[in-house]
Amino acid sequence: MRYLTLAVLILIHLAGCSTRTVSNSPRTAIEQMLLSTAVDTALEKFELPQAKGNKVYIDLTNLAGPDSEYMKVAIRGRFAEIGAILTNTLDDAELIAEVASGCLGTEYKSFIIGIPSIPVPGSTIPTPEASIFRKVEQTGIMKFLIFVHAQGQFVALDQYYARSDRHESFFLWHRSQQKDNIRESWEKADAKTKQKNSE
């Protein structure tokens, strides 16, 4: 009787369950990090000696894209970093910088040895992938155009390109990472923050 009671208690314990609501954002964190990393890398190349100590109005009306708010703040921050005095009015500006995005997007490539996932007619669920080897390459690509003038008089016009990559491969259950600019960028940012805090 004692063993029967114990068995019943174990069954009751095993029968208990809990649920948790799980949701995903429309865009993956990897995609957003690839794009913002490409933006940061492109802006690191931007230099404008004429901006140092001068009032600069930054025209961002032609800047559009999936992460335009991040780009706007990053661009203004970069101008300030190189010594420009930011102004919000055209009348006060000594220089006007017009910024446009020529490209901000991702590329995705994959290669597998094995059986790929196949759509099933009449079903929303495809067959599972059965691969021996799989390689995935994700790339974020950025192109900026920055045109600077002084009340119509030409000062500078340059294009700034950058990319960020994340490559990984899987052999059966073993995963290897060939390239990860996302990790490199946040490690660099962490090191920069720690250095500033220690000063």
Question: What is the residue range of 137's domain?
Answer: 28-113+131-191
The answer to whether position 182 is within a domain reads yes
Query: CA-to-CA distance for 89 and 58, rounded, in angstroms?
Result: 9
pLDDT in tens, 21-55: 778 888 899 999 999 999 999 999 999 999 999 99
Strands 95-115 and 55-59: parallel
Tally of domains in the chain: 1
What pTM, to 2 d.p., does this model score? Answer: 0.80
pLDDT in tens, 114-167: 888 888 888 888 888 888 999 999 999 999 999 999 988 999 999 999 999 999
Q: Are 50 and 94 in contact (CB under 8 A)?
A: no
Tokens of 88: 């919000």
State the DSSP H helix or E strand holding residue 170, giving kind and residue range, or none if neither: strand 153-171
The answer to whether position 5 is within a domain reads no
Question: What CATH number is attached to the domain comprising 102?
Answer: 3.40.50
